[in-house]
Structure 1
Amino acid sequence: MQAPSAARDHVSLEVSLGISHTDDGLVSTIQKRMEEASSLVNICSVPEQLRWGNERHYSPELVSIGPYHRRNQTLGDMENHKLRYLFTLLNRNPDIGLTLDKCVKSLKELENRARRSYEEDFGLSSDEFVEMMLIDGCFIIELLIKCSSKTLRRRNDPLFCTPGKLYTLRCDLVLLENQIPLFILQRLFQIVPIPKQCSHSLIDLAFRFFKSMIPGEQEYLREKLSEEAHHLLDLIHHWLIPANYTKKDAPTPKGLNKSVVELQAAGIKFKRSVTKSMLDIEFSKGVLHVPAVRINQSTETLLRNLIALEQHRCIDTQCVTSYAHLIHDLMPSEKDEKLFSERRMVSNYPDSNKRALRLFEDLCKDTKIEDFHYEELGVQMNEYIKRRKCSPLKCDQKTDPSDQLARKPRALVVVAIIVLFMIFIGTLFSALSFFLHHN
């Protein structure tokens, strides 16, 4: 039975558009078009201003997932490998044809929803689109399964035998333009036969696969496993969002304009934090706690694509963009980078040809930030500096130099000794002069 409110909405729509009750087909078509127009696009292309000069961090090097780089001929070698993984996954069921049929029918049901996840149409037929979702989705699932258990890998599998292949695959699978909807992966995971050696959920398998790329305490991140994400990159974004994050109702400007060298001179101390997410930067009792970050190619690729995701308004949080701007504000010079390095809050891997200073400078270029997550952090540090400057001890020292000396007993003793020594020297010279004159 149709709910009263839904019925009223249906009638009001018909009346406002001048449609009679007999035109149900047209009403249904318009409703469908409205639903499609209001659907959230969450897999989009990287903005051109971010891509320029950094193409390798936004384009896959080994495997194409989804429609954006589907026609890239340099990635053709992996297509046969994806088909082998598809066969391996489906062949665990004796009736491979039945499993394949279930997968195709399920993906057909989800096709329109999946298409609306993308920013572009790509001109793919229904069969082409569903085939792409099937092959790419099953490849990802089989890859996650093999990574969870060595017993499920073939000895001659080049993805595991060739040095650097798995590393490159991880980088490829976090690219914004190299995603398929998470609900596609979840539906396939429910249908395909999962080996007994693998008892993990899809989300847990993804966490195990990407955890080496994600800075932070593993147990803390594991507690945040969520199925609400739109795709694998968005899943990582969910893991990184700080526990104390709250969405601001209005734009929040950056409130910090001091580097770490300036903050240190103002009395603030720095300590490396070994817990929580990379983004959990906190200020407490005059100490700024900063989780360590290690800079290598995968770190840069991950950060760049998370920022691209935030910049395209695919999601309504800007935590990673805020983090990049904060670190850049704290570390604008080599002196600041050196202080960060000495505190082991930032380090460069040997395979990285870019220093942290330059990386965060580049990450902030051409990025807009409306929801600065660390606004309160800046307020706390600025208030601490003001209180420290205006403490009773410092105010007294500025207004009365004699009190400043009186508050330092050691300095007073030193001054007294110097005065007595000068008096002694003066007396000695006077006596010598007297005797020499009379002689």
Structure 2
Amino acid sequence: MRGLEAQARRYYDQPVSLGEDAFVEMLLLDGCFIVELICKLATSGLQQGDQNDPVIGNLLILSRISYDILLLENQLPFCVLLKLSSMAMPNEKVPFIDKASGFFAWMYPGSRRERSNTISSHECKHLLDLVYRNWLLPSPSELPSGIEAKNTKLEFIRSAKELKDAGIKFGKQEGSFGLFLGVRFEKDMIKIPCLKIDDTTESLFRNLIAYEQCSQRQHLYVTDYITVMDCLINTREDVRILRHRGIIENGLGDDEMVCTLFNKLGINVMLSDRGRFYYAQLFTGVEKHCAQRRNVWLVKLRRDHFNSPWSLISFLAALTLLLLTLVQTVFTVMSYFKPDPKTGIK
């Protein structure tokens, strides 16, 4: 472990004040605990965990420890964890990085999916980086066109209720784009993957955002996603609209709490520049739709005059009566001006 000391220190942005012995001891103690926890859970499973184990046997404690491990300030260099796992289990066939990925899979806030961006152990910086890149980072095929995004003037989209009034529908994203970052705008519908919100969601998002903001990445995918949700959600009515469409699963109980969560996450966060904003095409498409007055008029017409089957039936009956009256009037006028066949006088 002493052989990794210099390499481990280089992973930290700020100089570590601990001396050589204290620093190595910290790496050893924290690293052994994390490696044992991940490997033990990978062996026993979450449901079949050892009930006598004070950590694995208690889901509440396990949940809190798991999120504590992912705190940005608690990250250990992945090379340290890799070295400890190889020392403890030299003949293990399952790579430690796969065990670590499986350990955090249950924390994923969206629909479960297969990992499509698996990275090697040497590329991984720490566990938070592993979660970010394996479970959250889009694949290259999902990236929007950079040229189209750069030439786009971006305007923040309106709230869910305002967009609904403008004729835009909301739907749950399914299929190959069912990742929680995969928000799409197709025709007149915004499709958003399901997001499960509970007491741990805010902590997870805050750490992912903090990691993006500190790592000087070109693309801030999670930050951009929070920007979209912050725009859509301003009131509890907005949350209700998304919840009724199956987009949000509210484990907090109160829609107002979900609204507050997203509004707080968007505070004091550096946004992406326009040329790199992940949802540039989404924002542009939505604003173009809202700029067409015809769409707004049609929505108001349906809402004010055809908001129930009886309204439609009444309209059709009135239209039929009007047409019959018009036809009767035309025939009456025609008969009046029709010439007499005997005299030829009208």
TM-score if structure 2 supplies the norm length? 0.75
In structure 2, the residue matched to 1:128 is 22
**Deviation by residue 1:406-433 (Cα, 9 ceiling, x = unmatched):** xx97653233568899xxxxxxxxxxxx
CA distance 1:204–1:218, change in 2 (3 Å): farther
Where in structure 2 are the equivalents of 1:8-47 lying within 5 Å? none
Q: Aligned partners of 1:359 and 1:413: how far apart in 2?
A: 52
- C-alpha distance in 1 between matches for 2:91 and 2:190: 47
The 3 A distance-change label for structure 1 pair 368 and 253 is farther
Question: 1:415, 1:245 → 2: CA distance?
Answer: 55
2:277 matches 1:379 = no
Q: Are 2:92 and 1:193 equivalent residues in the alignment?
A: no
Once the two structures are superposed, what CA deviation does each residue of 1:90-117 show, in whole Å capped at 9, x if it has no partner?
xxxxxxxxxxxxxx3xxx3332221121
Indicate if the aligned counterparts of 1:256 and 1:375 stay in contact, CA closer than 8 A. no
The code of the aligned residue for 1:185 comes to L
Worse-matched range after superposition: 146-155 or 286-295: 146-155
Q: Find the aligned partners of 2:289 and 2:317 in 1 and give their Cα distance.
A: 29
Q: 1:194 to 1:345 in 2, by over 3 A?
A: farther
Residues 109, 197 of structure 2: 8 Å contact kept: no
8 Å Cα contact 1:297/1:351 also seen in 2: no
Residue of structure 2 equivalent to 1:235? 130
TM-aligned CA deviation for residue 270 of structure 1: 1.0
Q: Cα 1:240–1:414, aligned 2, differ >3 Å: closer, same or farther?
A: farther
In 1, Cα distance between the equivalents of 2:112 and 2:316?
52
Structure-2 separation of matches of 1:311 and 1:253: 23
Matches within 5 A, 1:45-84: none
Cα offset for 1:190?
3.0
1:178 matched residue in structure 2: 74
Matched AA of 1:121: P
Q: 1:147 to 1:345 in 2, by over 3 A?
A: same
For each residue in 1:30-55, what CA deviation from the matched residue of structure 2 results, as whole angstroms up to 9, or x when unmatched? xxxxxxxxxxxxxxxxxxxxxxxxxx
Q: How does 1:154-169 map to 2 (within 5 A)?
A: 156-169=52-65
Structure 1 residues 390 and 354: CA distance shift in structure 2, 3 A: closer
Residue 112 to residue 411, structure 1, CA distance change in 2 (3 Å): farther
Q: Are residues 360 and 234 of structure 1, via their aligned partners in 2, closer, same or farther at CA, if it must alter by over 3 Å?
A: same
Secondary structure of 2:191's aligned partner: strand
Q: Is the 8 A contact 1:255 1:375 kept in 2?
A: no
> CA 1:414–1:201 in structure 2 vs 1: closer, same or farther (change >3 Å)?
farther
- Count of residues in correspondence between the two structures: 299
**Cα 1:251/1:136, change in 2 over 3 Å:** farther
Report the identity percentage. 31
Instruction: Kindly report which structure 2 residues correspond to 1:32-431, keeping only aligned pairs within 5 A, or say none.
Output: 104=1, 108-150=2-44, 156-193=52-89, 199-220=93-114, 222-227=115-120, 228-238=123-133, 239-243=135-139, 244-245=142-143, 254-275=154-175, 276-350=178-252, 355-371=257-273, 372-386=277-291, 389=294, 412-416=319-323
TM-score normalised over the length of structure 1: 0.60
Secondary structure of the residue aligned to 2:74 is coil
Q: 1:332 to 1:354 in 2, by over 3 A?
A: closer
Distance change >3 Å, CA 153–CA 419, structure 1 → 2: closer
Measured after TM superposition, the shift of residue 297 of structure 1 is 1.9
Rg comparison, structure with higher value:
1
How far did 1:148 drift?
1.2
SS of 2:158's equivalent in the other structure is coil
The structural deviation recorded for 1:225 is: 2.0
Report the CA distance shift for 1:352/1:202 in structure 2 as closer, same or farther (over 3 A): farther
Superposition deviation, residue 287 in structure 1:
1.8
Q: What is the CA distance between 1:386 and its match in structure 2?
A: 4.3
Shift of 1:256: 3.0
Going from structure 1 to structure 2, the CA distance change for 1:263 and 1:153 (only over 3 Å counts) comes to closer
Superposition CA RMSD, Å = 3.4
Give the superposition deviation at 1:248: 6.0
Does the Cα contact within 8 Å between 2:78 and 2:127 map onto a contact in 1?
yes
Local SS of the residue matching 2:107: coil
The offset of 1:317, in angstroms, is: 2.8
In the TM superposition, residue 237 of structure 1 has moved relative to its aligned partner by 1.3
Quick one: which amino acid aligns to residue 201 of structure 2? T
